[in-house]
């Protein structure tokens, strides 16, 4: 198996079908073998039923159905470790970054990179639908905190479009301890600690107006970033 696409999903019954059909439409035109894993995070709606119905239409689609909610980071970890691909990509269920962007990622794995990070900040990125002013401000503040507390060497740690080699997955994700707000920061920090080569690549990205981050969520993210710093100091990873 060459590529695994992992899609974490929580209450996505209205959007998941469109995203899965778009992902499959692109991947079935490629020459490599692939699989699509949707990891349900204890959805209260019919997300699991929609995915199961589509699995009759999409040959390589699989559902990992968690009955309880544990957080996006938990189900990303679950999907990454359950996948079989030599390269494993996770992307958002709202299709904010379309699957065709993975074509930019693949050459870097041949060049010795183990982690390729989609970036909305790198030169060449395209923000099709921009965030509100307040979200831009909060995002900038968060990036500054990460830069000083847990320097990662990337401008955008939070875009939900990241790919890992099989080796990186098997090293990084079993050590993950944060499963909600700042899990992206933690997995990149672990990858950096273990010497994996990380490449940041510009992507086309469209903000979902239904997606909101409240101030309370930002505070939790900051505390989790501090936890990552503490874990690095204490050599927990």
Helix (H, G, I), strand (E, B) or coil at 175: helix
- DSSP states along 123-155: TT-EEEEPPPHHHHHHHHHHHHHHHHHS--S-S
Q: What is the CATH number of the domain that holds 53?
A: 3.90.550.10
Tracing tokens 């995002």 back to the chain, one arrives at 139
Residue 7, both tokens: 């899609």
Q: Are residues 80 and 109 in the same domain?
A: no
5 and 68 housed in the same domain: yes
- Give the pLDDT confidence score for residue 209 in this predicted structure: 61
The whole-model pTM stands at: 0.93
Give the pLDDT confidence score for residue 221 in this predicted structure. 86
DSSP secondary structure letter of residue 130: P
User: Is pLDDT at 211 greater than 90 in this prediction?
Assistant: no
Is residue 208 predicted with pLDDT exceeding 90? Answer: no
Same domain, 18 and 112: no
H/E segment holding residue 219: helix 215-233
- Whether residue 102 sits in one domain with residue 72: no
> Do 106 and 143 reside in the same domain of the chain?
yes
Structurally, the chain folds into a number of domains equal to 2
The whole domain housing 70 covers: 1-95
User: In this predicted structure, what is the pLDDT of residue 206?
Assistant: 85
Report in angstroms the alpha-carbon separations of 186 from 20, 77, 146. Answer: 28, 12, 11
128 burial type by CB count under 10 A (0-12 exposed, 13-18 middle, 19+ buried): exposed
Residues 115 and 136 in one domain: yes
Which of 155, 159, 189, 153 minimizes the C-alpha distance to 172? 189
Q: What is the pLDDT of residue 1?
A: 96
* Domain match, 76 and 125 both: no
pLDDT digit string, tens, across residues 38-81: 999 999 999 999 999 999 999 999 999 999 999 999 999 999 99
Which residue among 74, 95, 116 closes a domain? Answer: 95
Q: Helix/strand/coil (H, E, C) string of 184-195?
A: HHHHHHHHHHCC
Does 50 share its domain with 78?
A: yes
Tell me the mean pLDDT in the region 121-138: 70
């Amino acid at each position: 198996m060459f590529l695994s696409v992992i899609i974490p999903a929580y209450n996505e019954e209205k959007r998941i079908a469109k995203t899965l059909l778009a992902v499959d439409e692109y991947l079935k035109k490629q020459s490599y073998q692939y699989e699509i894993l949707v990891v349900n995070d204890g959805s209260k709606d019919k997300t699991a039923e929609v995915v199961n119905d589509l699995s009759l239409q999409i040959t390589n689609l699989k559902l990992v159905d968690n009955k309880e909610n544990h957080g996006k980071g938990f189900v990303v970890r679950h999907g990454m470790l359950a996948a079989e691909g030599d390269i494993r990509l996770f992307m958002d269920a709202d299709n904010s970054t379309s699957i065709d962007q993975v074509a930019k990622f693949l050459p870097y794995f041949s060049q010795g990179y183990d982690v390729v990070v989609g970036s909305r900040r790198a030169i060449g990125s395209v923000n099709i639908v921009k965030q509100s002013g307040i979200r831009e401000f909060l995002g900038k503040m968060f990036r500054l905190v990460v830069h000083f507390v847990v320097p990662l060497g990337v401008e955008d740690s939070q875009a939900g479009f990241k790919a890992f080699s099989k080796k990186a997955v098997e090293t990084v994700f079993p050590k993950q301890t944060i499963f909600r707000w700042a899990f992206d920061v933690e997995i990149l920090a672990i990858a950096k600690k273990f010497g994996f080569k990380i490449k940041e690549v510009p992507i086309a990205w469209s903000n979902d107006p239904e997606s909101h981050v409240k101030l309370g969520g930002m505070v939790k993210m900051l505390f989790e970033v501090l936890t990552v710093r503490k874990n690095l100091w204490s050599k927990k990873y």
